[in-house]
């Protein structure tokens, strides 16, 4: 039986001679600490080893039971490294703690989380993510509600089809047709009422007004005595501030939501940024969506490269914001 134990295919303990000594050494658990630190795509997580091995035969279970610590990849600080989506891993870790799937409302990353669950070989989590989503206790998503927004409302208040406000009901009883009800009861084709207007649309079907602010930080290097041409370093990141639904409408798939993935569509955020670094491309997208620039501001600082002598090269760092409006 000692030979059978030594040939279970463990990458760190298989082989060796037959005998009781070999059997006891191959059965020893790997030398992992009870508290493990994980670096997942740059995001650091600290958890117990029993948590990451809670699902047998999963990828993490094999890593922390079938391998030795020195066989796993580590970062510069000695944390175990996984080259996966660090923001979505928190939901993987939550599932491993109690084997329950709890996601926030308006969660747009369900398909990506399912892909992460497939990578970590968690079949039950994959099955739950692939099942039809049950409506939560909160307000249903906009596309599942049928109604019409109040005229002039900046919020997401809805009037159910076939109803009107008190003053409109009085006008209807006097024979005056209600424009709200007329719009709600007719579709462009003249048939039954269509679905609810999207959060970026107003009552008359046009796009809703609002503001979007984009910003960027840039730096310039100016030669001695400003005789040489200024050298502009590329923009590192273009930030997006405004209402979530407007930002997604304008920038679509080019919007990086990783720093604020659970923001509801009617809320505001200042943590989005774009996946490209060209201001002109951002301006084009805003212009195509009907926005125009209404304000711009910029601040900057100056530093000397390598010396306090003012004859040395100067590095200017500036932060600029552009405010766009759609009326």
From CA 210, how far away is CA 286, in angstroms rounded? 12
Give the model confidence (pLDDT) of 129-171 as tens digits: 988 766 555 544 544 444 444 443 334 444 444 444 444 444 4
Across the range 270-283, mean pLDDT stands at 88
pLDDT above 60: residue 196: no
Give the model confidence (pLDDT) of 50-65 as tens digits: 999 999 999 999 999 9
Q: Full-prediction pTM beyond 0.85?
A: no
Number of helices (H) and strands (E) in the chain: give both, helices first: 11, 12
Model pLDDT, residue 161: 43
Neighbours of 127 (CB within 10 A): 12
Give the model confidence (pLDDT) of 66-94 as tens digits: 888 889 999 999 999 999 999 899 999 99
Structure tokens at 4: 């059978």
Across the range 173-184, mean pLDDT stands at 44
In contact, 166 and 180? CB cutoff 8 Å: no
pLDDT band at 270 (very low <50, low <70, confident <90, very high): confident
Percentage of residues of the chain with pLDDT beyond 90: 35
- Range in 106-110, 140-144, 153-157, 204-208 the model is least confident about: 153-157
From CA 96, how far away is CA 79, in angstroms rounded? 19
Model pLDDT, residue 307: 53
pLDDT above 50: residue 194: no
Domain boundaries along the sequence of the chain: 33-128, 208-222+231-304+312-324
CATH no., domain 33-128: 3.30.710.10
Model pLDDT, residue 13: 39
Query: Which among 98-102, 141-145, 186-190, 226-230 has the top mean pLDDT?
Result: 98-102
Model pLDDT, residue 36: 93
Model pLDDT, residue 135: 55
From CA 296, how far away is CA 149, in angstroms rounded? 32
The reply to whether 208-222+231-304+312-324 shares the fold of 33-128 is: no
3-state DSSP call for residue 82?
Answer: strand
Percentage of residues of the chain with pLDDT beyond 70: 61
Neighbours of 269 (CB within 10 A): 16
Strands, E assignment, the chain = 35-40, 43-48, 80-82, 147-149, 158-160, 210-222, 231-232, 238-243, 255-256, 268-274, 292-304, 314-326
Name the H helices within 47-133: 49-52, 59-65, 89-98, 110-119, 123-130
CATH no., domain 208-222+231-304+312-324: 3.30.1410.10
Model pLDDT, residue 39: 94
From CA 179, how far away is CA 169, in angstroms rounded? 11
Neighbours of 125 (CB within 10 A): 23
DSSP string, 281-296: HHHHHHHHTT-EEEEE
Mean pLDDT of the chain: 73
pLDDT above 80: residue 246: yes
Model pLDDT, residue 263: 81
């Amino acid at each position: 039986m000692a030979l059978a134990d030594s040939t279970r295919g463990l990458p760190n303990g298989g082989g060796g001679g037959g005998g009781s000594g070999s059997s006891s050494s191959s059965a020893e658990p790997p030398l992992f600490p009870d508290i493990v630190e994980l670096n997942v795509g740059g995001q650091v997580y600290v958890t117990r080893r029993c948590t990451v091995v809670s699902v047998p035969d999963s990828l993490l279970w094999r890593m922390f039971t079938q391998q030795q610590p020195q066989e796993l990849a580590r970062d510069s600080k000695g944390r175990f490294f996984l080259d996966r989506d660090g923001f979505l891993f928190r939901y993987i870790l939550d599932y491993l703690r109690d084997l329950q799937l709890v996601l926030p409302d308006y969660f747009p990353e369900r398909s990506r989380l399912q892909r992460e669950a497939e990578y970590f070989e968690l079949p039950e989590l994959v099955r739950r993510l692939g099942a039809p989503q049950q409506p939560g206790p909160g307000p249903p998503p906009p596309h599942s509600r049928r109604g019409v927004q109040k005229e002039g409302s900046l919020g997401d208040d809805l009037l159910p089809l076939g109803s009107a406000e008190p003053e409109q009901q009085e006008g209807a009883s006097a024979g005056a047709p209600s424009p709200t009800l007329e719009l709600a009861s007719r579709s462009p084709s003249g048939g039954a009422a269509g679905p609810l207007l999207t959060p970026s649309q107003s009552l008359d079907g046009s796009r809703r007004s609002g503001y979007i602010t984009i910003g960027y930080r840039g730096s310039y290097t100016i030669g001695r005595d400003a005789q040489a041409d200024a050298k502009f370093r590329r923009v590192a990141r273009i930030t997006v501030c405004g209402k979530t639904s407007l930002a997604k409408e304008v920038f679509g798939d080019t919007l990086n939501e990783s720093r604020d993935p659970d923001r509801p569509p009617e809320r505001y955020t200042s943590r989005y940024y774009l996946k490209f670094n060209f201001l002109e491309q951002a301006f084009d997208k805003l212009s195509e969506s009907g926005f125009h620039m209404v304000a711009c501001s910029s601040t900057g600082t100056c530093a000397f490269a390598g010396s306090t002598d003012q004859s040395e090269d100067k590095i200017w760092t500036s932060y600029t914001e552009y405010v766009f409006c759609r009326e």
